Amino acid sequence: MIKVAIVGATGIVGQQAIVSLHNHPWFAVTKLAASERSAGKTYAQALQGADGASRWWCPEELPAEIGQMMVENAAEFDPESVDLIFSTVDTNIAKELEPKWAKTTPVISTASAFRYEADTPILVGGVNMEHTSLLAVQQRNRGWKGFIAPKSNCTISGLVVSLKPILTHFGVKRVVMTSLQAMSGAGRTPGLSAMDMMENVIPYIPGEEPKVESEPLKILGTLTGEGIKDAAFGITATCTRVPVLDGHLVAAFVETEKACTPEEVKAAMLDFGRDFCQLGLPSSPDRLIKVTDDPFRPQPRMDRDCGGGMTVTVGRIRKDPILPNGVKYVCLAHNTKLGAAKGAVQTAEYLVKHYLQWL
Ligand SMILES: NC(=O)c1ccc[n+]([C@@H]2O[C@H](COP(=O)([O-])OP(=O)(O)OC[C@H]3O[C@@H](n4cnc5c(N)ncnc54)[C@H](OP(=O)(O)O)[C@@H]3O)[C@@H](O)[C@H]2O)c1
């Protein structure tokens, strides 16, 4: 078994990583780490709030053996004590600690700290696996035995999966999008207040729109050898927070290069990702995109767990009446599964098999 650590294990994404790695056929969680607040406690103790209630968040039970494990201080964590690190800490902590770990050990990160570095790919399962070769450039540039492979921002995880087949078949000129983002996307440190969120929509998420407007262009860009040339289209976004627990919904309006019908877009989406799914990675779903014809779907509660939370559900594909060659649709992705922890585990599975060649 490949020994893995989850650093940031007590947070929302860290907890989802525990669930995603439970009974994993290749990976065994042998280390947990978080801030010094949690260090020196068992994992179950570290999750207890001041009122004594557990802050375990996932609907799945906390595995008993994980609850008993001691949590280490991330700042003192020995990266050589494991084979692979899942980093689910806040970005400012990631910026400081991940390069120290990457000197010796591969790091798969859900933080944004390294996403915008020229020698660092943002890998999204089935969308841009050819960008993996940039990790060798990163290792060479920085003299690291390991590497840092960041996941994308959770809001765009459904958007880039749905855009890729449109880009491939019809070309993309511009994208206008509005997100309706779940509360779990804000994390637990400090987390959102129920008083703010109940019966409400918050029309602004600090720092989100610049990420959403730039990351897809890198992810859908072309590998040039030493870097990535961004895809040549623009995205404009409004990001909002809604009172949903999990599952980010995006309303997308896409102007394509070539004219296309909603039926052709649907066919391209349904056909997308077969080869990647056939790799048989343990965390991959049967299909990357499900298209629904029900105009009342996708809905977060009903569709976020499609494909174990790893399939993007697209609905309401229709012609846009204003944009030239315009098509519009709604897509939904599970933000802490596809958009974070389980997506990170899937990236690790791909890298272990196709880059590190450990299996
Ligand atoms: N939530 C999502 O849907 C989502 C999706 C994609 C990416 N992300 C990214 O994933 C990362 C984790 O997000 P989250 O939602 O899980 O956040 P979170 O619930 O707030 O968890 C943060 C984690 O970081 C740890 N931490 C805080 N300060 C630390 C320090 N000084 N040193 C070491 N560890 C420290 C916390 O440990 P303690 O419990 O000990 O404080 C906790 O384990 C963030 O970078 C976020 O942007 C989140």
The per-residue DSSP string of 25-55 comes to SSEEEEEEEE-TTTTTSBHHHHTB-TTS-B-
With beta carbons less than 8 A apart as the criterion, state whether 64 and 44 touch.
no
Q: How far is the CA of 248 from the centre of ligand 1 (A)?
A: 18
Which fold would CATH assign to domain 154-333?
Answer: Dihydrodipicolinate Reductase; domain 2 (3.30.360)
CA distance 26 to 352: 9
CA atoms within 13 A of residue 283's CA, in its CB half-sphere: 30
Q: Which two tokens stand for residue 239?
A: 């990001």
pLDDT surpasses 90 at 225: no
Q: How confident is the model at residue 186 (pLDDT cuts 50, 70, 90)?
A: very high
Q: Find the mean pLDDT for residues 280-300.
A: 98
User: pLDDT per residue over 67-84, tens digit each?
Assistant: 999 999 999 999 999 999
pLDDT surpasses 90 at 129: yes
Q: Which two tokens stand for residue 165?
A: 């087949």
How far is CA 197 from each of CA 59, 181, 183, 201, 241, rounded to the nearest angstrom?
21, 12, 8, 7, 8
Ligand 1 contacts CB of residue 228 (under 6 A): no
Ligand 1 contacts CB of residue 34 (under 6 A): yes
Query: Is there a shared CATH topology between the 2-153+341-354 domain and the 154-333 domain?
Result: no
Ligand 1 contacts CB of residue 79 (under 6 A): no
Q: What ligand 1 atom has the least distance to the C-alpha of 248?
A: 3
Catalytic residue among 131, 169, 248, 334: 248
> Which pLDDT value is given to residue 192?
94
pTM for the whole structure: 0.97
Burial class, 359, CB count within 10 angstroms (exposed 0-12 / middle 13-18 / buried 19+): exposed
Q: How far is the CA of 296 from the centre of ligand 1 (A)?
A: 33
> Which pLDDT value is given to residue 58?
92
> Which pLDDT value is given to residue 359?
86
CA distance 276 to 350: 10
Q: Find the mean pLDDT for residues 192-197.
A: 94
pLDDT surpasses 90 at 50: no
With beta carbons less than 8 A apart as the criterion, state whether 172 and 233 touch.
yes
User: pLDDT per residue over 132-141, tens digit each?
Assistant: 999 999 999 9
Query: Among 37, 211, 28, 13, which residue's Cα sits nearest to residue 109?
Result: 13
With beta carbons less than 8 A apart as the criterion, state whether 240 and 184 touch.
no
User: pLDDT per residue over 237-289, tens digit each?
Assistant: 999 999 999 999 999 999 999 999 999 999 999 999 999 999 999 999 999 99
Ligand 1 contacts CB of residue 247 (under 6 A): no
CA 335 to chain centre: 7
Ligand 1 contacts CB of residue 109 (under 6 A): no
CATH of region 2-153+341-354 = 3.40.50.720
pLDDT surpasses 90 at 14: yes
> Which pLDDT value is given to residue 327?
98
Secondary structure in 3-state letters for 6-23: EECCCCHHHHHHHHHHCC
- Domain assignments of the chain as residue spans, ordered by start: 2-153+341-354, 154-333
Q: What ligand 1 atom has the least distance to the C-alpha of 189?
A: 20
Query: Among 94, 104, 44, 48, which residue's Cα sits nearest to residue 69?
Result: 44
Q: Find the mean pLDDT for residues 183-210.
A: 94
Q: Find the mean pLDDT for residues 223-229.
A: 94
Query: Among 172, 166, 182, 189, which residue's Cα sits nearest to residue 11?
Result: 189
- The amino acid at 270: L
